[in-house]
Amino acid sequence: MEQSDGESLHPPQRWGKQRWFSHIPDEEWNDWRWQLRHRVTTLEELSRFVRVADKERRLMEAVLRDFRMGITPYYLSLIDFSDPKDPIMRQSVPRPEEYLYREVGEEDPLAEEELSPVPGLTHRYPDRVLMVVSNTCAVYCRHCTRKRIMVSKCEDPPADHDVDRMVDYIARTPTVRDVIVSGGDPLTFSTEKLERILSKVRAVPHVEVIRIGSRVPVTMPQRVDDELCAMLEKYHPVWLNVHFNHPRECTPEAVKACSRLLRAGIPLNNQSVLLAGVNDNVETMRELVHNLMRMRVRPYYLFQCDPVRGTEHLRTPVAKGIEIVGGLRGYTSGLGVPSYVIDAPGGGGKVPVSPDYLLYYSEKEGRAVLRNFHGKVIEYHDPLSAEALSRMTMSSLGKPAKSTCEESGKRRWSRRSRPRVPASAASGQS
């Protein structure tokens, strides 16, 4: 792809607004309904901003028959079209690779539909369920796990009776205490429609927590207005999981949207997806988590990109995720280090993956060999057993307390002075 007029610009925040949408009054630009209505959804509309070669166009047209495109003017304004590797464009604009790799991957890699007791609801974990209440997004991410429900051009939400069936299942399942309302994106609904869903869920006595999954604070932050926040406050405890993938998404508009949600008492967790060419290096991820912490958004998960059909060009080796987490641990606040997880194919659930910090452990010996973030190997001992403490107490009776403590301490710390690393653990460090 090439920039439409060939100029070479390095955009600051909202560069695209000034260039492409300078004629749009702020009143309209800041209206989320205007943003949603004016999404770029066709290649013809996209060609206003970037040239697409004929060969690429044919492949991209084939892609759009399988998975729709939609980019809000706001999110499009963050793209530097002079950079063919722009990380915002890579997440939102169809690529020929989506067609070329269309046979690689699965339609439903997480087996959400197999674990669905009623249409639209997934019950994988004992105490929580996922409600998919929308097939509409402000921006359709090219790495989306649920591409399968966004094939047609129709953006109709589930009918009220479908939502009622989901809520009825929750009401009949007392083990469910946590409900995730997702989609698509529930925040693309009107406030009134979203409230109808949340009020039904909150009416179930054993539901303790409602979580909403949304990328709207990233892709259409104008949606987070006072009316929405006032409504959400009525159904606490409500949590919101957001989805920032790159530091350039942390704009003043996104900061304002997150601040409004926080003032409404809604905790924010971020769930990034590890994407090749977007955030697959330590420097980018470190900048992102630092931005999020300043925004009071907790970096929660770093997901391995799911093996969804047509996303092979966006996936990274697992080793890359381990490298990134290893590059964050110890070099930034622990609060800023997300858990790197793989959502196991076939509905196996989230599996945490981390660098090898525990090199060896023997419960019998009461001894562990650890590696810290500098690579230094350290020995750690379990507390003494009750039997050992009893023997120590008995042997101490009748002896001067000072000398006993001194000798005991000398003996114990001399044993710890040189970590004994098993050969298998040591070889893993070479």
Q: Which of 95, 128, 211, 248 is catalytic?
A: 128
Spatial strand order in the sheet of 358-362? 358-362, 367-371, 377-381
> What's at 262, amino acid-wise?
L
pLDDT in tens, 174-185: 999 999 999 999
- Cα 14 from chain centroid? 24
**Domain boundary, last residue among 68, 100, 132:** 100
CATH code of the domain containing 240 = 3.20.20.70
350 in catalytic set: yes
pLDDT (0 to 100) of residue 12: 43
pLDDT (0 to 100) of residue 5: 40
Do both 92 and 193 map to the same domain?
Answer: no
pLDDT (0 to 100) of residue 168: 98
Q: Which of 223, 306, 309, 360 is catalytic?
A: 306
Domain that residue 304 falls in: 121-352
pLDDT (0 to 100) of residue 394: 78
Contacts of 234 (CB under 8 A, 6+ apart): 195
pLDDT (0 to 100) of residue 417: 44
124 in catalytic set: yes
pLDDT in tens, 224-275: 999 999 999 999 999 999 999 999 999 999 999 999 999 999 999 999 999 9
Do both 163 and 306 map to the same domain?
Answer: yes
137 in catalytic set: yes
Low-confidence ranges of the chain (pLDDT < 50): 2-13, 404-405, 407-418, 426-430
Q: Which of 144, 229, 250, 258 is catalytic?
A: 144
Q: Whole-number mean pLDDT of the chain?
A: 88
Among candidates 338, 235, 239, 242, which has minimal Cα distance to 286? 338
Do both 146 and 84 map to the same domain?
Answer: no
Distance, in Å, from the CA atom of 110 to the CA atom of 115, rounded to the nearest integer, reads: 9
405 in catalytic set: no
Q: Which of 108, 185, 280, 343 is catalytic?
A: 343
343 in catalytic set: yes
Q: Which of 90, 142, 146, 286 is catalytic?
A: 146
The full 3-state SS of 74-89, as one line of letters, equals: HHHCCCCCCCCCCHHH
Is the CB of residue 276 less than 8 Å from the CB of residue 315? yes
256 in catalytic set: no
pLDDT (0 to 100) of residue 386: 79
Number of structural domains found in the chain: 3
pLDDT (0 to 100) of residue 424: 52
Give the residues across from 259 on adjacent strands: none
Residue 172, classified by CB atoms within 10 Å of its CB into exposed (0-12), middle (13-18) or buried (19+), is: exposed
Do both 343 and 371 map to the same domain?
Answer: no
Do both 19 and 162 map to the same domain?
Answer: no
Q: Which of 19, 57, 350, 367 is catalytic?
A: 350
pLDDT (0 to 100) of residue 15: 59
pLDDT (0 to 100) of residue 119: 94
Residue 19 domain-assigned?
Answer: yes
